[in-house]
Amino acid sequence: MIEIGVINNPRMAQAFVDYLAVQKIDAKVAQTDEGFAICLPAMTHVEAASAELDLFLADPYQQKYQAASWDVADSRTASFSYGSGNMLSNFLLHAGKVTLVIFAMSVIVFAAMYFSMLTQNEFIFAALHFPYDLSISSLSEFWRLFTPAIMHFSVLHLVFNLLWWWYLGGLIENKLGSKKLLLLFLVAALIPNIGQFLLSGPNFGGLSGVVYALVGYIWWTAWLAPEQGVSLPKPYIGFMLVWLVLGFFPLFGLNVANAAHVLGLVVGCGQAFVDHKFKSFN
């Protein structure tokens, strides 16, 4: 069997195989440690199937893929096991180690901040917020340069950022590896945090700057190096760019870290350009 690529979601993998069947290309789904591999029995249709896979990964929710599953449902002979198929397994399947660690740390820090606030002892915030200045003495607690990224101040703030982090971080980690996502997280926490501090002081937090870095990275990687198989549907990119602009207007009474958002997007686009220039995606 010839493996042409891996899809993280088993149902999406089967939908793609069904679409290939409609195109008269025989393919199977095989579960591996990396996800669900798309395999061909011979080299005959590898080039065509690989091209179709790139198109599928760019926009897997097109109607033609759903229609293909209906078309071949009655004739499908493969008995592929999807596992338990519950929400938790699908959640874990999409995410990698770095994605899950940052996700868990954000939840734990939010819970700790909430309970410390109830006791009127905000020691968690005191330990993790950005330094009050950038002097050499204050930078002895260097972790403060990064930890505001995992601090959130409301449930909505937390949920919104973590959903995007899980989706975007999992996509990058599964395609390009844990080291790449960790590097993006560190750089996208550091530079936007410094920019936000210079604009508004140390009282800020949230993963949104990192999220915008991931949006920029995926957006530009799909443009500069589509062969990496990392992309976002255009409506997703459009939504995040519109949300970025709306942050500069007090429409919802929210205190938005605009500097972190903009710098995060710039960092992500810049990192994609560097990786393309030096061929260092993995």
How far is residue 201's CA from residue 282's CA, in Å, rounded to a whole number?
36
Is residue 175 within a helix (H) or strand (E), and if so which, with residue range? helix 170-176
Q: Pairing relation of β-strands 28-32 and 35-40?
A: antiparallel
Inter-helix orientation angle 258-278/208-224, to 10°? 30
The position carrying tokens 């061909």 is 40
| The two three-digit tokens of residue 23, written as one number | 């195109």
Decide if 154 is catalytic.
no
Tell me which of 45, 129, 157, 261 is the catalytic residue. 261
Torsions phi, psi for 225 (to 5 deg): -140, 70
Tell me which of 45, 106, 152, 208 is the catalytic residue. 208
Residue 10 contacts residue 82 (beta carbons within 8 Å): yes
Decide if 208 is catalytic.
yes
Residue 144 contacts residue 189 (beta carbons within 8 Å): no
Those residues with Cβ within 8 angstroms of residue 171's Cβ, 6 or more apart along the chain or in another chain? 94, 218, 230
Could you tell me how many residues make up the chain? 282
**3-class DSSP assignment, residue 154:** coil
Residue 192 contacts residue 264 (beta carbons within 8 Å): yes
Half-sphere exposure of 87 (CA within 13 A, CB side): 0
Residue 82 contacts residue 11 (beta carbons within 8 Å): yes
* Signed CA dihedral, 161, 110, 150, 144: sign only: positive
Catalytic residue numbers, as ranges = 208, 261
